[in-house]
Structure 1
Amino acid sequence: MSDVCAGSLCAAMQEKTSRHPCYAADAQHKYARIHLPVAPRCNIQCNYCNRKFDCVNESRPGVTSEVLTPELAKDKFIWVKEKIENLSVVGIAGPGDALADWPLTKATIEAIQAVDSDIIFCLSTNGLLLPDYAPDIVALGLRHVTVTVNTLDAKIGAKIYKFVSYRGQTYVGVAAANLLLANQLEGIEYLVKHGVLVKINIVMIKGLNADGIPAVVKKVKELGVFVTNIMPLIPAPGSAFEQRPQTSMKELNALRNICELDIRQMRHCQQCRADAVGLLKEDRSQEFRMCNSVPACAATKSLTPRIYRIAVTTKHGNLVDQHFGHASQFHIYQGAGREFQLFETRQVEQYCTGMAECDGETEQRRDKIVETLQDCDAILTMRIGYHAKEVFRASGIHIEEYCDTVESGLQYAAGKVAELPLRPASGYK
């Protein structure tokens, strides 16, 4: 690939990076970016995160006024490009994680590459799935990736991350933090070795990870990272850290000064929304909402198709023919309401094996299943007990009892979820 350089940036990489407002400080006043919110899912729960999908007055990561399909994202890019001539970067930063919804992220990139081969792409990720998708990132020609790495200490990580969901299993505590860090470092190393410029975001949390941030910076420097971006904690209302004090600019810059002895520091980050448009300090996202301005959207009630993830209990894969309590695995489907694809299968400890046991101490197993399915909008099952149903509903997951084919059941459940308000920020959000 022509953009990959050994040892130093080649001319093509230098030119592109000079037009990237996050990677080049001088570019922030000259070039605009667009963040396309096509990846709503997330596979970890950070205690500082509470993402609201329609919060027009907030500017912080994870906030967006719309979630787009890849096709609508391409249309929005074309629209914005016509209006903003200095648009140079397409970023995908969620509103969940770019890799947690990789098929949607990849389809968006390929659609835009087909209409503009010169645009710069940039991904933001927590890094959990980097070992899986780093080769795809390189193959697509992406040369700018941001990874959030908050600590090298698993005990501190256990306090930052509520849980990590990986390959159908939910991890908590030190195990979750160790898994996340190992995958982050493996993925970062691969990207750097294949010519990708990696920027590391670090959320500075007073009294928790601040003292360990210089160690993070030194470690990623060893891996060949391009720049680090130490950001202040934004105590988001509704998050576990909403009562924690916000880091002052004086404290932030003092830490940046220390870390700058090891590696370049980004000092102009705006902690942008997932649908940001324009210059870094002149966000025009509300001006370019698809649901307000694109004629194709005007006649529709649901202006941006929602992507659903639905867990199904099934014995043989074709029918919804299994009781929730008897399921030892859930088939996870993802789609836009009419067409669904099997996303993955997740193993769980069976909730109950008979009426006697179901009346006993099963809360712990039930709560574990709730954690495992937190990224799902609904559960499609033949039968489920009242108490279990109420627990899932309280966690924001819709329950639909159904006895027919999986295909028709998915469409039916999606229709029911579509009648509900957008799910509040919780679990995977």
Structure 2
Amino acid sequence: MDLKTKTHPCYSKFAHNYARMHIPVAAKCNISCNYCNRKYDCLHETRPGVTSKLLSPTEALARFKIVKSKVDNLSVVGVAGPGDALASFEATRESLELIKAEDPDLTFCLSTNGLSLTDYQEEILRLGVSHVTITINAVEPEIGAKIYERVNYKGETLTGVEGAELLLKNQLSGLKYLAQNGVLCKVNIVLIKGINNYHIEEVVKTVKEAGAFMTNIMPLIPVEDTPFADNPLTSKVELDYLRNKCEENLKQMYHCQQCRSDAVGCLNKDRSLEFKEENSLKLEKKSESLVLEGNYYLEQEERLFAVASQEGEIVNLHFGHAKDFYIYQVKESSIKFIEKRNVEQYCTDKECSDSEDRIGRIINTISDCEAVLSVRIGTVPRRKLLQHNIIAVMVYDKIESAIRFALGEMYSENTG
């Protein structure tokens, strides 16, 4: 394993002390996936394909300079959205060239759906991109047709099996070319229950033959307003069982965090919020003004919020992963931390339990709270919380800013 791979946190589990930076310069996308919502101007979500701001190449360079001065062990700069790096190749190329001129020793990588790989494979080599991630969710067009709504290639829109066939052809052809020319290729596979879960082992075997270095099987994140919004979640046990089976054929990634398109820092400690203060303040002021406009919110002397947080600074935990909730009091315009309450974790390594006992105990613990703030929450616990008049708000931000955002969202809902 060369030095660039040893210090790339997505390609080596031993590189956890090295930081990466995603530059969100790719605005366009050339396929429509049934699990993707292209709402990328979102400060308050943490998942692939979202960013607080789309950057121009010169803005990406400016942000890189700031990040480099503040983040130790920054080893990787990559383009991972919010669209597709190759569908927006002019912006991708210019951004990487500018940053490479500033620091040629960095590792450069990009992520793509692979539709345009055959068109830009030589350019990728010329740019000095050493690591490429390709998302390949199916190697049978009939299965791919269930995942991709349409494919837009060179001015032509294809749907169904025809579109999936073209996508697969270009993915595998590009993968083979890059692998044969020294580029390390990781293949991402989104596990979608009922669609491709029994097909993934075949995907792994096929991409191995094409030259993939490793695969990263990721659980579907159901996103509102998409065809797969109500698809069931995959437990960690189910995920790791499949990864273990596939590791018999090809190296597997177990430590993926399914990062945002503007992620900064180590995988286990994202620092992207530090570089979004301007956007955060704008949204905070907007949310605060909404709160102050609504008498409904000022009539109550005290309101409590339960926050799922790893360390008590940022809303950064899935509801089901919280072992305790940070309780905050909102009184007029004041936000104050009150206490930390322990709960039985809703999701274990084996399952995200839908048992009445477990969710019931959590609800009893936070029954005096008006809302729960977490990065993500499943539809079942969300519905059960609502039955007890507790609103679930999905948000990713510093806690006070997140509470103001939640207040604004709740006020908007109540005023129609």
Note the residue ranges of structure 2 that are not aligned, 5 or more in a row.
281-416
TM-score w.r.t. length of structure 2: 0.66
Q: Please show how residues 137-156 of structure 1 align to structure 2 within 5 Å.
A: 137-156=124-143
SS in 1 for 2:102: coil
1:186 alignment partner in structure 2: 173
Counterpart residue identity of residue 73, structure 2: N
Aligned-pair CA distance for 1:282: 1.3
In structure 2, the partner of 1:247 is: 234
Once the two structures are TM-superposed, the CA of residue 292 in structure 1 deviates from its matched residue by 5.2
Structure 2 residue identity aligned to 1:211: Y
Q: Deviations 1:194-216 (Å, cap 9, x if unpaired)?
A: 00000000000111101111111
Q: Determine whether 1:177 maps to 2:164.
A: yes
Which residue identity does 2:52 align to in structure 1?
S
Q: Distance in 1 between matches of 2:270 and 2:126?
A: 31
User: Map of 1:93-242 to 2, 5 A cutoff?
Assistant: 93-242=80-229
Which residue of 1 is the match for residue 378 of structure 2? none
The amino acid of 1:244's aligned partner reads: N
- The residue identity in structure 1 corresponding to 2:26 is A
Closer, same or farther: CA 157–230 of 1 in aligned 2, 3 Å: same
1:89 aligns with 2:72: no
User: Is the CA contact 2:22–2:263 (under 8 Å) kept in the aligned structure 1?
Assistant: yes
> For residues 278 and 130 of structure 1, do their structure 2 counterparts lie closer, same or farther at Cα, with a shift above 3 Å needed?
same
DSSP-derived class of the 2:14 partner: helix
Instruction: Supply the RMSD in Å over aligned alpha carbons.
Output: 1.4
Provide the residue aligned with 2:297 in structure 1.
none
Change (3 A) 1:71 1:290: farther
After TM superposition, where is structure 1 displaced by more than 4 Å over at least 4 residues in a row? Answer: 290-293
Secondary structure at 1:273 match in 2: coil
* Per-residue deviation, residues 238-275 of structure 1 (Å, max 9, x unmatched): 11100111111111111101100000000000000000
Q: Secondary structure at the match of 2:198?
A: helix
1:275 to 247, 257, 262: 262
Provide, for residues 369-402 of structure 1, a one-character-per-residue CA deviation record: whole Å limited to 9, x for no partner.
xxxxxxxxxxxxxxxxxxxxxxxxxxxxxxxxxx
Give unpaired runs (5+ residues) of structure 1.
1-8, 294-429
CA distance in 1, matches of 2:91, 2:43: 24
Q: Deviations over 1:163-194 (max 9, x none)?
A: 00000000000001000000000000000010
- Whole-Å Cα distance in 1 between the matches of residues 43 and 208 of structure 2? 37
Are the aligned partners of 1:99 and 1:129 in contact in 2 as well (CA < 8 Å)? yes
Residues 2-401 of structure 1 mapped to structure 2, 5 A cutoff: 14-28=2-16, 30-289=17-276, 291=278
Tell me if structure 1 keeps the 8 A contact 2:52–2:279: no
Identical amino acids, percent of aligned pairs? 57
Q: How many residues align?
A: 281
CA contact (8 A) 1:131 1:183 kept: yes
Matched position secondary structure for 2:207: helix
Q: Secondary structure at the residue paired with 1:34?
A: strand
CA distance in 1, matches of 2:241, 2:279: 43
Question: Matches of 1:263 and 1:273 in 2, distance apart?
Answer: 26
Question: What residue in structure 2 maps to residue 374 of structure 1?
Answer: none
Does the aligned pair in 1 maintain the 2:130–2:182 contact within 8 Å?
yes
TM-score calculated relative to the size of structure 1? 0.64
